[in-house]
Amino acid sequence: MLYVDIPTRPEFKALNDVRADACVSIYLKTTPMTQQSDASRIELGNLAKQAREQLEAVGFDKRRLASLVEHFDDLADDDEFWRLQANSLAILATPDLLRTFRLANALSQMVAVSDRFHLKPLMRAITFPSSALVLALSENAVRLVEIHAELPAVAVKVDGLPKDAASALGKSTLNDRSPSGRIQGSEGQNVRFRQYARQVDAALRPVLAGRETPLILAATGRLAAVYRSVNSYPNLLPDGIEDSPDRISDADLADAARPVLDAANAAELSALKVLYEARSGDGRATCDLSDGARAATYGAIETLLVDMDAVVPGIVDEQTGAITFAEKADATNYGVVDEIAGRALASGARVLGVRKADLPGSGDLAAILRYPA
């Protein structure tokens, strides 16, 4: 089983704002198989040693360095921590704090040392959701199931959720005539379904409030259409599971939901590529690093896609956005693409970490601008 803790967007923004005399970012491959965790611990030691050597090379304060190294030593010795892992581990440390995130996706191993964290590898985890909620809805029953990549499906307790359509309306059957005297048959069933669906939607609101998790509807026929007509959750995906959930286990629901989620992510990326091409025609898109840095500095980026594996060392001027490139990454510089992403995020832009092949243009980023640069 994978143990995952993905940063929320507010957590990500808070980490992006951290500035310290030494910020060490370590990403390494891990395994959920406890008996094989020793290799990950050894690799952590190797990467931590690289970070220490970079800081020693620039004359970093020895006492502050000792505090930083202690974080990594304590983590390496924590047997309980290593017992519960996923496929990758992000470790973000300063002499004064340590944050770790266990991730389902496989990340490339690396270490970065600067006055700010290297967060781009984490962006993929929050860019396109790997988790979703499935609302399994039928006339006979309703349940909410949470799914995660490579994790077992989990039933979510929802207070006030109706048992089924008839009991939700205080009826023994949906065929009873309504108090208003409306006719039975398909019209009467639609009336009952809408009442049932509104109760389900109302029960879900406290559970879904403030979340951005995609919701996938598993329902068939008229009830599916009726629920969509009364749904108040903005992240209900347009496509769903078109099969009766009465005959589907939670595990099978998860299997059916993952292609729906993948298709939604792919459609969103495709739409962004189309928008990028359209904006390119009037000077409101760029894949140039220097142009992107200036646009991010002046708050001109609306949406930014970055290659999550790109590492371009340098420094971006705080006032002008001009880039000074460095020959190699060390403790005196930071990742330029990371910095552009951080500035765009601070100005309210949407930032997405993607693979190089998914980027429009030919650079390490693709910026869709609010106005011509």
Asked if 227 contacts 143 with a C-beta cutoff of 8 angstroms, the reply is: no
Which pTM does this prediction carry?
0.75
* C-alpha closest to that of 208 among 229, 224, 231: 231
Task: Quickly state the pLDDT bin for 32 (edges 50, 70, 90).
Answer: confident
Asked if 352 contacts 127 with a C-beta cutoff of 8 angstroms, the reply is: yes
Provide CATH code, domain 9-127.
3.30.960.10
Q: For the chain, what's the residue count?
A: 373
Alpha-carbon distance of 100 to 86, in angstroms, equals: 12
First to last CA, the chain: 48
Segment 295-324 shows an average pLDDT of 94
| Packed helices 185-208 and 221-230: angle between N→C axes, nearest 10 degrees | 50
What's the pLDDT at 57? 94
Query: What pLDDT, in 10s, does the model give residues 176-200?
Result: 555 555 545 566 677 889 999 999 9
Question: What would the two tokens of residue 254 be?
Answer: 């998860």
Segment 325-352 shows an average pLDDT of 91
Tell me: pLDDT of 302 over 70: yes
Question: What would the two tokens of residue 348 be?
Answer: 């309210």
User: Hey, where are the domains in the chain?
Assistant: 9-127, 131-264, 281-369
Work out whether the CA dihedral 265, 271, 273, 276 comes out positive or negative. negative
Does the structural domain 281-369 have CATH classification 3.90.550.10? Answer: no
CA 291 vs CA 45, 90, 123, 307, 323: distances in Å? 38, 30, 21, 16, 10
Query: What pLDDT, in 10s, does the model give residues 53-85?
Result: 999 999 999 999 999 999 999 999 999 999 988
Task: Quickly state the pLDDT bin for 47 (edges 50, 70, 90).
Answer: very high
Question: What percent of the residues of the chain are helix, what percent strand, and what percent coil, each to the nearest 5?
Answer: 40, 20, 35
Out of 3.30.420, 1.25.40, 1.20.1260, 2.40.40, the CATH code matching 131-264 is 3.30.420
Our measurement of the distance from residue 357's CA atom to the centroid of its chain's CA atoms, rounded to an integer in Å, reads: 19
Our measurement of the distance from residue 364's CA atom to the centroid of its chain's CA atoms, rounded to an integer in Å, reads: 20
What's the pLDDT at 176? 57
The SS3 of residue 129 is coil
The SS3 of residue 354 is strand
Side chain identity at residue 166, one-letter code: A
DSSP annotation string for 156-183: E--TT--SSHHHHTT-S-TTSPPTT---
Question: What would the two tokens of residue 58 be?
Answer: 């620039």
Our measurement of the distance from residue 35's CA atom to the centroid of its chain's CA atoms, rounded to an integer in Å, reads: 29
Helices (H), 209-288: 221-230, 250-280
Task: Quickly state the pLDDT bin for 10 (edges 50, 70, 90).
Answer: confident
What's the pLDDT at 311? 87
The DSSP output letter for 94 is: E
Within 13 A of 367's CA, how many CA atoms are on the CB side?
Answer: 31
Residue 225 neighbours by CB under 8 Å, 6+ apart: none
* C-alpha closest to that of 349 among 371, 320, 321, 370: 370
Alpha-carbon distance of 149 to 350, in angstroms, equals: 23
